[in-house]
Amino acid sequence: MFDLTRSKEAFKHALELLPGGVNSPARAFGAVGGNPIFIDHAEGAFLFDVDGNRYLDYVLSWGPMILGHGHPAVIQALEKVIKTGTSFGAPTLYESRLAELVIEAVESVEMVRFVSSGTEATMSAIRLARGFTGRDKIVKFAGNYHGHSDSLLVAAGSSAATFGVPNSPGVTAGTSKDTLVLPYNNPNALFDVFEKCGSEIACVIFEPVVGNMGCVPMNPEFRDALTLVRERYGTLLLCDEVMTGFRVAYAGAQSVIGIKPDLTTFGKIIGGGLPVGAYGGKREIMKNVLPAGKVFQAGTLSGNPLATAAGIATLETLKETNPYPELELLGDKLEKGIMNAADKHGVKLSANRLASMLTFFFQEGPVTDWDSAARSDTKKFADFFWSMIHQGIYFPCSQFEAMFISAAHTTQDIDRTIAAAENAFKSL
């Protein structure tokens, strides 16, 4: 068992300074119990905590470290930029170059606006959709997470029209009244709502592969239903690729799923591990954003040189090295190896995976939406999580989060992880 004394002391101190001792809820380990682990540094596929323990990292800062931690190209780009200044509040060449890379990669994107977070990207894209269509209502899906802006922090209501109700104190009923919440991967529910009020719906926001109820890919029938309601009712499709963009494929998850949205949001990888977000789409829509149009959005740190330089280095490296075939092989090996180990020891387990993004659910499955994901045995997951931690394997600290593989992971790392999982299953 690892010694976590310094992490425990650090958390006790942080509790006096930060709400819950953290700056984002998932970091508190509330879903698995115990104290969070404080990280000192990272290198390649590994994390090192303040107690000196080393972990093989499958969280990767919740996705963006696709090249691994401290990739030389990213570090070199940051070292170059930091000597010239970290923020100007004025245009730089870095912004245009990163925009070029995104537009070249993603077929549905013709123009881009950079912001500083995924939350800011989705919030701004929804405002743009409303401004462009002149409509107020939006549709989202239960279990899809699009950041913490008020209109998206809603749960499904009990009324037949599925109007959202606030699920966080501080979010007003007025803010959430125009958000409709539907089950994911359910074409019939989508058609029903559009038959009732389709002409009032500005956009449908969705994740092509959900990451915050575990990894849940969109099924083909649901994809076709989204395309149909756009054609029939003139609503916009807003694809949230903050987590999946450049992760499951260089051209985005939309290229794998086979859907062409009107607007797309990005984050994570396009900042190379630094705070960043973006929204983009058809030129006729994006030209409605101020100062080209009248839809307001601004930010002093939007497109800052550090984040854009790191993003350029990351995307150019991905383009040049194309790690995606190898990531697919590693993902397949990890999925099959852990599923076989679970079956060997009689542990009920199912897996969802798309490329280097996957989740193991402690249930028989299948998992296709939030209701089915919620049937997972979270107690068993917590026991599994801590067993893996004590063997030096860092998995996401919630049953309902996706895990990721980086280009820095090796076949030997996957073998080690499978062996650790088998040891964990023995104790379960």
Q: Which positions are annotated as active-site residues?
A: 145, 240, 268
SS3 call for 394: strand
- State the Cα torsion 386-387-393-397 to the nearest 10°: -30
C-alpha torsion angle, residues 106, 66, 146, 300 (rounded to 10): -80
Q: Which residues pair with 293 in a beta bridge?
A: none
d(CA 312, CA 74): 8
CB 393 within 8 A of CB 310: no
Using a 10 angstrom Cβ sphere, with 0-12 exposed, 13-18 middle and 19 or more buried, the burial of residue 416 is: middle
Q: How far is residue 126 CA from its own chain's centroid? A: 18
Contact predicate 270/102, CB 8 Å: yes
83's tokens = 């000597």
Strands in 403-404's sheet, in edge-to-edge order, are 350-354, 357-361, 403-404
Under 8 Å CB-to-CB from 127, ≥6 apart: which residues? 295, 296, 297
C-alpha torsion 385→390→395→399, nearest 10: 10
Q: Which residues pair with 216 in a beta bridge?
A: 210
Token output for 53: 């323990």
CA distance 62 to 44: 15
